[in-house]
Amino acid sequence: MKSINPATEEVLATYKEDDTGTVYAQLDTAREAFESWSERSVSSRERLLANVADVLRENIDKYAKQITIEVGKPLDQAVSEIEKCVWVCNYYSQHSSEYLQNEHIGTEPGAKTYVSYEPLGAILAIMPWNYPFWQVFRFAAPHITSGNVAILKHSPNVFGCAQAIEDIFEEAGYPDGVFTSVQVSVNQVSDIIEDDRVRAVTLTGSTRAGKEVATISGRELKPTVFELGGSDPFVVLDDAPVERAAEVGATARTQNAGQSCIAAKRFIVHETVFDEFLERLTTEFKALTIGDPTDVETDVGPLAREDLLETLHDQVMTSVDAGATLHLGGEPLDQSGYFYPPTILVDVPDETPAATEELFGPVATVFKVESEREALRIANDTQYGLGASVWTTNTDRGESVAQELEAGNVFVNQLVKSDPRVPFSGVKDSGYGTELSRHGIHEFVNKKTIWIEGQGE
């Protein structure tokens, strides 16, 4: 298994897959660690999580560089990713005790009744490469602090990031086995899920992967949380602030080279502002600098792998062959690295990849609609339901539209983003379960009812 710099195609490292004996030993260590870790006070776990935030902050440039060389993310965006990891660690180091305290419920006179939130055990986290630190920390911060232990199965192209994260927890003072990274391929995942030492599973990745893991986990009756693919609509109504919408829309589509499940992908624009929006979006795209992700002037780096580049280009060309108009871009750069330029497709027919599939790269499909009702129809006409964005100068109207959009996260006059303070989830083929906030920390705990009555006289 290799890690390849997507900007230069240089092999950074080659990793040997952990054999079955090594994995079983790691699972044993995790189970043993859980016995004592789960007995610690929440405040003790909070203090260690604050240490993690300190380690991240003190080494932010080193970790950002690791992201950049393995994923191709522009350096300033990699720095922002680490800063967000600091934020989520600080958030749960300050609020976990509140979220996990016993919840008292009134029942019968003289009875003491409450809900106790108790950890489950070892949680397998199958994480993606596109946000190699953030996706891990938004899982680990709440669920380790709630008393569980974590087993990370990261993507092979970011094993360097996985090792760095494991080292961070060790440096912060965590006991051995509380956070463990395993170097395994997808072929070994089913065996790990089926192992009795693993009590729950979370996955961030494709819908296909989610369905496969859900099948295995369901057979084993193990709780799961899935954050899967997305084809987020970006709805621009007739009264939208067009200049601002185009500016934010360009960022929402091209940050991390468009490799984000919650990136704006389908721009659904009212006909009265369509021409102006398309012109402004085109201008914004043309102003973006694509190139070396270590250069501070770069806005768009390469795609993370060669196969991702090939898949994206095939989706674009198949859509064009079926009648879509290539308004901008559409051809991989003729140079080393997996670079694809910011691209815009218009006049996209139904049933083409650009209309129905997730395009994981800097490609915007722009649809013209005649009404708000048509915009909602197209926005909801998808198997996905992760995020959505609505643009209007009338916030009451925006809220009304937001309530009709079939998505787990809807933002009015803002791009879709995850925030530790509010829950994050998807519907339809975008997954289920909740991450972040008070709601997220309760996904992998036993909500135990305790009822106590005296014996009377």
Domain boundaries in the chain? 2-228+426-453, 232-412
Q: Within 10 Å of residue 428's Cβ, how many Cβ atoms?
A: 18
The CATH number of 232-412 is 3.40.309.10
pLDDT at position 456: 60
Single out the catalytic residue among 227, 284, 357, 443.
Answer: 227
Distance CA 258, CA 251 (A): 9
Distance CA 379, CA 337 (A): 34
Q: Which residues of 212-250 are buried (b: 16+ CB within 10 A; e: fewer)?
A: bbbebbeebebbbbbbbbbbbbbbbbbebebeebbebbb
108: left (phi over 0), alpha (psi -120 to 50) or beta: beta
Axis crossing angle, helix 134-145 with helix 75-100, rounded to the nearest 10: 20
Q: Which residue has the tokens 């967000």?
A: 84
State both tokens at 40: 């610690």
Q: Are 267 and 362 in contact (CB under 8 A)?
A: no
Is 261 tagged catalytic? Answer: yes
As beta bridge partners, residue 364 has 344
Single out the catalytic residue among 89, 261, 357, 358.
Answer: 261
User: Distances in Å between the alpha carbon of 359 and those of 70, 206, 320, 339, 426?
Assistant: 21, 12, 14, 15, 18
pLDDT at position 455: 77
Q: Answer whether CATH 3.40.50.740 is correct for domain 2-228+426-453.
A: no
Sites in the chain below the pLDDT cut of 50: none
